[in-house]
Amino acid sequence: MFRTPWVRAAVAGLTCAVLTGPAAGCGSDDDGTRTAGEVRTDRTDDEGRPYREVPEEDAPEIGVVVQPDEARAGGWDVRIRVRNFRLTPESSPKGSPADAVRGRGYARLYLDGRPLASLRTTAYRLPPTRLARGTHHLTARLYADDHTVWAVDGEPVEATADLTASGAEPSPGASTVG
């Protein structure tokens, strides 16, 4: 029916987007048949999650971009960009961990080293009430669906952006992280 490769690819991409929606993570991959790395029991993140070591040539990558959101009374728009990785939708019932599949999972955001949010999409809005005046570090780290940390050479796959809050102090009683 479709004779040229680029037409077949375009139709396949549109079909995937229409049938499953953007959160399903369509695209070409090997259906997770390659190894999902080696779980290291000697390394964990601050929350006790073990590292899942993968070779550098197969490793996922992440970047984080933070921009002020002046249109909505302050705050910041956070965007993550991933390579060799697919954000998977929440698919397993609570309390039932999913299997780790190579190059798939979710991202966690940390603000000044404290957990902020889990992401299964590329966008997050950080409200202005979450930050005190000053410079802060926002880190995005990749996790497998079994909650292990994707790692290369003993280091987590993550990216950090600095942002500076120069507006008014948060209202009394407001948490700066949490």
Q: Which residues contact 146 (CB under 8 A, 6 or more apart)?
A: 97, 98, 99, 100
Asked if 123 contacts 156 with a C-beta cutoff of 8 angstroms, the reply is no
Distances (CA, A) of 142 to 58, 87, 104, 125, 159: 14, 9, 9, 18, 9
- Residue 97 has a pLDDT of 60
- Residue 41 has a pLDDT of 87
- Residue 138 has a pLDDT of 97
How many C-beta atoms surround the C-beta of residue 23 within 10 A?
A: 13
How many C-beta atoms surround the C-beta of residue 103 within 10 A?
A: 23
- Residue 61 has a pLDDT of 97
- Residue 55 has a pLDDT of 95
- Spell out the per-residue pLDDT of the chain, length 178, in tens: 434 443 333 333 333 333 333 333 433 344 444 568 899 989 999 999 999 999 999 799 999 999 988 777 788 999 999 999 999 987 655 545 678 999 999 999 999 999 999 999 999 999 988 889 999 999 999 999 999 999 999 999 999 999 988 865 554 444 444 3
| C-alpha–C-alpha distance, residues 73 and 128, integer Å | 8
